[in-house]
Amino acid sequence: MRRLAALFERLDATRSTRAKTEALVEYFRGAPPADAAWGVYVLMGRRMKRCVGAAALRQWLTEESALPAWLVEETYASVGDLAETVALLLADRTAAPAESVPLAEWFEWRLQPLAALPASEQRALVTGWWRELPYLECLLATKLLTGALRVGVSRSLVTRALADCLDVERVGVERALMGEWTPSAAFFESLARPAAVAHPDQPYPFHLASPLEGAPDALGARERWIAEWKWDGIRAQVVRRAGSIAIWSRGEESVAERFPEIVAAAAALPQGTVLDGEVLAWDGRGVLPFASLQRRIGRKAPGAKIQRDIPVRYLAYDLLEADGADLRARPLAERRARLESLVREATAVAGGPGAGGWSAIDVSPVLPCGSWGDLAAAREQARVRGVEGLMLKDAESVYRAGRQRGAWWKWKLDPLTFDGVLLYAAPGHGRRSNLYTDYTFGVWRDDALVPVAKAYSGLTDAEIRDLDRWIRAHTREKFGVVRSVEPLQVFELAYEGIAASTRHKSGVALRFPRILRWRTDKPAREADTLAALRAVLEAPRG
């Protein structure tokens, strides 16, 4: 644990990519293999399930610190992070630093068995750790306990450092860390032989697109680029190998059991096939809103009714493996041609399209627009089709891991917008825990304001400080750390989509709301109405 704490401190102290890489390489070279494996697990952003609830931890902290409960709660509200609050309040109560417990032992013999213990034993163990650990190790141990540890390094930086440390090709390490794996000394040592780590269901690292910020004609000749719809679904790879079928989300979660229709269709694919594409909720008119797909995502074993109500479809746009051969180094145009042939043959094997006139696995169509102007006109139809815009992909591009600027671009529609009134504010987290940075906005329904969105981003640091002062001076009521404010400030907000919702008082849910600007020029009475948002919701699609 002490070695991980030292690494955490070094990473937190620099923004230099080179310095972070050097720190990671030193950590991997110096840590025992089992500890290094768990270090990779943490650095890659993987988390254990929460062992103990936050309420229990706050109660134990109150008892252990011998401070009034109100003071502990106020401190937590001010700090904004439970693990940091624990480490700060108990900093002068820890014993002399004990011998450091190896990181592997922390996970395998301390944290993992904790969930099965009664609360009294959990309390005795956790508070004992708090007493024996110095500040930074106490902070990290509590974050591991709650599953809230975030380290300021990217996945690509970790794989680069591992490749440097082990003197192997980075592409092999990237693939070895995809999918499911168990941290162990043997696993870490096997990373020096990436091919030995592979298992039949293993996906490939995803190739990511960059946002297109200017006009597409700056990309050169239109003929060089393959254009597709940018679907609003779940990016996923379908893996058909060794008699099994797996579906992996971009977040490296196995989701096959949630989409049995796609699994059934994948049975017609040849062995040694890996597709890259999008899982979509789909009906006779086309793609359904993402909110419909979310209902399927939340069910690990969907019943017959929800499969009828919300059918799903997989639209593939790349072929990464065929007949067991890795095709990622081949040009995209070649991969696409083979993909269309492969899926066409699989559909024929499966007996053709289903009862709805479409197959559960199909190919995402290429748009035939001959000029950038024609493509721009097609893009304007994206919203009515239920898609986010267009994808532009270099026909000669190979398939690499991570974001490869210049090869694939996402040309999204401009977001939808509305003007909302600030109703509530809450403190942020981390460095912003002393400022009100989490906001709730409402729109008019008759003469009352109804909350419709929460937003956390979009203002400059100066605007956040100005708004924080205004919130403190214009608070009407306090609900714990949340303040209701005088409904006077108007903000323009952007959002990507809207769906009906029974969970929200307004009856609607907005996707990815964020602040565009503070409308100091606009009185609250001129903010938007719920009826205007509902009109967007009820707009025809197809």
Q: What is the full DSSP assignment across 478-499?
A: EETTEEEE-TT-EEEEEESEEE
User: What superfamily does domain 416-537 belong to in CATH?
Assistant: Nucleic acid-binding proteins (2.40.50.140)
Q: Which two tokens stand for residue 128?
A: 């004992």
Q: Say how far apart CA 7 and CA 4 lie, in whole Å.
A: 5
pLDDT of residue 402: 82
Distance of CA 523 to the CA centre of its chain: 36
pLDDT of residue 532: 94
pLDDT of residue 385: 87
Q: Say how far apart CA 334 and CA 230 lie, in whole Å.
A: 21
The domains of the chain are located at: 2-146, 207-412, 416-537
What distances in angstroms separate CA 457 from CA 454, 515, 516, one per listed residue?
10, 6, 9
Catalytic residue among 49, 230, 478, 522: 230
Kindly list the averaged pLDDT for each block of 10 residues, start to end, along the chain of length 542. Answer: 89 88 93 93 85 89 90 80 87 64 90 90 93 88 83 85 89 85 90 73 92 91 95 95 92 90 94 96 86 85 90 96 95 97 91 79 93 92 89 96 88 93 87 84 95 92 94 91 93 90 87 94 95 86 58
**Which CATH code for domain 2-146?**
1.10.3260.10
Q: Say how far apart CA 277 and CA 319 lie, in whole Å.
A: 9
Whether the Cβ atoms of residue 8 and residue 19 lie closer than 8 Å to each other: no
Q: Say how far apart CA 468 and CA 484 lie, in whole Å.
A: 13
Q: Say how far apart CA 486 and CA 423 lie, in whole Å.
A: 7
The amino acid at 540: P
Our answer to whether residue 412 is catalytic in this structure is no
Pick the CATH number of 207-412 from 3.30.465.10, 3.30.230.10, 3.10.290.10, 3.30.470.30: 3.30.470.30
